[in-house]
Amino acid sequence: MLGLHLTADLRGCRCDSVWLTDAERLLARCVDLVQAAGLQAVAQLAHTFPSNAHGPGGVTATVLLAESHLCVHTWPEEGGATLDVYVCNFGHDHSAKAQALLAALLALFDATAVQQHALRRGGVSP
């Protein structure tokens, strides 16, 4: 049950706007980055939210991993995104792979402000 949960809240994303608004393209890039990090995608889902008075709708891209999950949410009207990478470390420590995946996503969004957190999970005794 031990794992590593990494999160990042991004503001001032300087990436191409497609990464904030095109759910299918973002999802495809997420799957590529998952594979490049050495993790295994087992399912995926993307959703585009409707446009509103503030501009185009954001997107959610989720990749279910054999090791756990990746989830990205965007707010194009604010130039923001949130990233969530969780890996279970049962049998093998996937922490370095999770950190590589998060680093690749941070590079993709190229934010001016980033707040990151790392949480070690599963430390509760049975």
Is 73 among the residues known to form the active site?
yes
Q: Which of 68, 92, 94, 117 is catalytic?
A: 68
Residues 19/55/80/66 CA torsion (nearest 10 deg) = -50
How many Å apart are CA 21 and CA 104, to the nearest integer?
19
The structure tokens listed for 52 are 């509103």
Q: How many degrees, rounded to 5, is the angle at CA 97 between CA 78 and CA 68?
A: 75
Q: Which of 13, 69, 88, 94 is catalytic?
A: 88
Strand ranges inside the chain, DSSP E: 3-11, 41-48, 59-65, 68-75, 80-88, 113-121
Is 30 among the residues known to form the active site?
no
Q: Which of 73, 92, 95, 117 is catalytic?
A: 73
Is 125 among the residues known to form the active site?
no
The structure tokens listed for 60 are 């959610």
| Active site residue ranges | 68, 73, 88
